[in-house]
Amino acid sequence: MSVDEATVRRIARLARIAVNDEEAHRLQGELSVILDWVEQLGEVDTAGVEPMTSVIPMVMKKRDDVVSDGAKADDVVANAPVSEDHFFVVPKVVE
């Protein structure tokens, strides 16, 4: 399966990754090769086989409904480029 350059740009846009023309061209080739490689798995007959979700059969760990975290707004915004009164501050986004 090969992808065209428009698809590469769309994927990049969805992932919010900036790519220039040269990169888009290069990525088009790389992604096509990767997809071809993954596509080989399609040759295996998996009819009736449940998707494997873990190597060892195990059940998902569950938590009791107890509040034991929070009250650390200083830590939460510590790495924010801009914050004010414990809010993250970002360029205006309104729909």
Partner 1 sequence: MDEMVRSAPKDKLIKGATGDWEVIIGLEVHAQVTSKSKLFSPASAEYGGAPNDHVSLIDAAMPGMLPVINEECVRQAIRTGLGLKARINLKSVFDRKNYFYPDLPQGYQISQFKQPIVGEGVVYLDMAEGEQIAVGIERLHLEQDAGKSIHDQHPSLSYVDLNRSGVALMEIVSKPDMRSADEAKAYVTKLRTILRYLGTCDGNMEEGSMRADVNVSVRRPGEPLGTRCEIKNVNSIRFVGQAIDYEARRQIDVIEDGGTISQETRLFDSRSGQTRSMRSKEEAHDYRYFPDPDLLPLEFDQPYVDALAAALPELPDEKKARFVADFGLSPYDAGILVGERVAADYFEQVAQGRDAKAAANWVINELFGRLNKDGVDIVESPVSAAQLGAIIDLVASGVISGKIAKDLFEIVWSEGGDPAEIVESRGMKQVTDTGAIEKAIDEVMAANPDKVAQAKEKPSMAGWFVGQVMKATGGKANPQAVNALLKDKLGLE
46 touches partner 1 by CB under 8 A: no
45 touches partner 1 by CB under 8 A: no
* 14, 36, 38, 41: which one binds partner 1 (CB under 8 A): 14
Total residues binding partner 1 (CB under 8 A): 37
Q: Which is nearer to partner 1, 40 or 62 (CB)?
A: 62
Q: How far apart are CA 37 and CA 13, in angstroms?
A: 24
Instruction: Quote the tokens at residue 10.
Output: 């769309």
18 touches partner 1 by CB under 8 A: no
